[in-house]
Amino acid sequence: MTALPSSCDVLVIGAGPAGSSAAALLHKAGFSVAVVEKQKFPRFVIGESLLPRVMDLLGEADLLEAASARGYIVKRGALFLRKEERCDFSFADQFTPGWDHTWQVPRADFDQTLASAVEARGVPFAWEHEVVAADFSGAPTCTVADLSGAKQTVRSRFVIDASGYGRALPRLLDLDLPSNFPPRKAVFAHLRGDHRKPGPDENRIWIVCLASGAWAWIIPFSNGLTSFGVVGPLEAFAGYPQEPAACLRAVMAGDPNFERLRHTEFALEPRSLGGYACSVKRLHGPGFALVGNATEFLDPVFSSGVTLALESANRAAKTVIRQLRGETVDWEQDYAAYMRRGINVFRTFGTTWYDGSLPRILFSLAPADSVKRMMCSVLAGYVWDLDNPFVREHERKVAQVARLSS
């Protein structure tokens, strides 16, 4: 039996962070909303390191308390390592006023926590139901199939597509666009037995630059497991074995920063993911908006994915609310242009990470450098603060500081 109504104000596709938070905001504003989710939660998804901006957005959706109760490891900054060099960012020391911490979350637990909190408010979630067709020629109508293939239609006044890697509406409406980010590859797993050395760096996220041209993350969780992954251009993987587990072992053996991982075992089968960068022709259309990873995903290096997912869900939900209340809204300006501004800051940081200029800056920053505080706010996800020169003029500022760092 499905909890899915035959009509509602807003249908949300996908119950990841973007979908759950959009549903929470719409429900809070008094609209009827239903969520269709293809999988059964908890389910694995990658994307475990959050940014402080997430805390503002979870707060607005009244989801902060539920997540806080899970006791996730508190993330107060990020530590970049290159052999014995280090660059240490603390979110307490940043340009933009904002949160000084966030969390490192096993996403299966985090996503289920958010979804359960919204479901408990009376929002219907149709688990293991998939949107398989959508018609926007009149009132938005989505066709939803259950596991047996049985179909039903849901009419709504608006559809928010938060289907992430599933890319429901981009596929159904032919909105997919190849990303202009070069194809990269990621191999990752959860580890048991990480020998965390007690001290200030014990529970922190480490981002390690590797001689191969790839980089790796170490993200400790409060459940005792540690997430480990390696990301890079395809050519950076040429010297590693193809098979994911052997690849991760080779990466671990190749850098002294991974000493702590040498005696670990895999708690989650190592996986490999390629060509995950994606884009779309447009972020909205008559009767629908795309949010989260259903829009554009660039690269995991600055952990921006969940932040952008929540930001776009927040912005789209607020725009829908205004529209359904009868206000005139300009989706291009109010939503798409706003999102692109923030995404483009991360695009500059991502591009210059891989061309080597950003690591050059990071590893030459003096601890009290004012530039470091400005860059820290970008790394905290405050990419809409136009007072910050590294937001307002991201390309020019990064290029300028890179020149001075050479």
Our finding on whether 61 is near ligand FAD (CB under 6 A) is no
Is 47 an interacting residue with respect to ligand FAD (CB under 6 A)? yes
Q: Does 276 bind ligand FAD (CB under 6 A)?
A: yes
Q: Does 14 bind ligand FAD (CB under 6 A)?
A: yes
In whole angstroms, give the CA distance from residue 237 to residue 126: 40
With CB under 6 A as the contact rule, the residue among 8, 12, 15, 343 that binds ligand FAD is 15
Query: What x/- string results for residues 178 through 197 when contact with ligand FAD is judged by CB under 6 A?
Result: --------x-----------
- Residue 339 interacts with ligand FAD (CB under 6 A): yes or no: no
Measured between alpha carbons, how far is 198 from 196 in angstroms, rounded to an integer?
6
Q: Are strands 284-285 and 226-233 parallel, antiparallel or unpaired?
A: unpaired
Using alpha carbons, list the distances in angstroms from residue 222 to 100, 104, 247: 19, 8, 26
* C-alpha distances in Å from residue 76, one per residue of 51, 54, 58, 288, 307: 9, 13, 17, 37, 16
Query: Closest separation between CB of residue 271 and ligand FAD, Å?
Result: 9
Q: Which of 166, 270, 342, 359 binds ligand FAD (CB under 6 A)?
A: 166
Q: Tell me 337's DSSP state.
A: I
CB of 161 to ligand FAD, least distance (A): 8
Contact region for ligand FAD (CB under 6 A) — 62-70, 161-169, 236-244, 316-324? 161-169
Q: What does residue 359 show for φ and ψ, rounded to 5 degrees?
A: -55, -35
Residues of span 76-135 touching ligand FAD by CB under 6 A: 130-131
Residue 327 Cβ vs ligand FAD, minimum distance, rounded to whole Å: 26
Beta carbon nearer to ligand FAD, 283 or 371: 283
Contact 235, 188 (CB under 8 A): no
Among positions 4, 11, 45, 189, the unique one binding ligand FAD when judged by CB under 6 A: 45
Which residue in this structure is represented by tokens 């957005």?
A: 57
Query: Considering only CA atoms, which of 211, 131, 119 is closest in space to residue 164?
Result: 131
Contact 63, 342 (CB under 8 A): no
For ligand FAD, the binding residues in 218-237 under the rule CB under 6 A are 229, 231
CA atoms within 13 A on the CB side of 95: 22
Instruction: Calculate ∠ Cα 351-357-358, nearest 5°.
Output: 70
Binding span for ligand FAD by CB under 6 A among 22-30, 42-50, 61-69, 147-155: 42-50
**CB of residue 405 to ligand FAD, shortest distance in Å:** 26
Q: Which of 141, 156, 163, 257 binds ligand FAD (CB under 6 A)?
A: 163
Task: Give yes or no for a contact between 152 and 144, defined as CB atoms under 8 angstroms apart.
Answer: yes
Q: Could you give the CA distance from residue 57 to residue 97 in angstroms, rounded to a whole number?
A: 15
The footprint of ligand FAD on this chain (CB under 6 A) covers a number of residues equal to 39
Q: Would you mind telling me the total number of residues written for the chain in this entry? A: 406
Q: Which is nearer to ligand FAD, 53 or 318 (CB)?
A: 53
Q: Does 272 bind ligand FAD (CB under 6 A)?
A: no
**Listed ranges 32-40, 61-69, 259-267, 384-392: which one lies at the site for ligand FAD (CB under 6 A):** 32-40
Alpha carbon 231 to chain centroid, angstroms:
15
Give the number of other CB atoms < 10 A from CB of residue 163: 29
Least Å distance between CB 164 and ligand FAD? 2
Give the DSSP H/E element, type plus range, for residue 339: helix 338-354
User: Which tokens in the block code for residue 311?
Assistant: 């930001």
Task: Give the CB-side neighbour count of residue 324, counting CA atoms within 13 A.
Answer: 22
Considering only residues 302 to 331 of the shown chain, the ones binding ligand FAD according to CB under 6 A are: 303, 305-307, 309
Q: Which ranges constitute the DSSP H helices of 224-304?
A: 244-253
- Smallest gap from Cβ 400 to ligand FAD, in A, equals 28
Q: Is 388 in the site for ligand FAD (CB under 6 A)?
A: no
Alpha carbon distances (Å) from 150 to 121, 141, 146, 169, 194: 27, 16, 6, 20, 46
Bridge partners (DSSP) of residue 348 are none
Task: Identify the residue among 9, 11, 12, 17 touching ligand FAD (CB under 6 A).
Answer: 17
Q: Is there binding between residue 49 and ligand FAD (CB under 6 A)? A: yes
141 binds ligand FAD per the rule CB under 6 A: no
Contact window for ligand FAD (CB under 6 A) among 7-15, 232-240, 318-326, 347-355:
7-15
Q: Which residues bind ligand FAD (CB under 6 A)?
A: 13-19, 36-39, 45-50, 130-131, 162-166, 168, 186, 229, 231, 273, 276, 292-293, 297, 300, 303, 305-307, 309
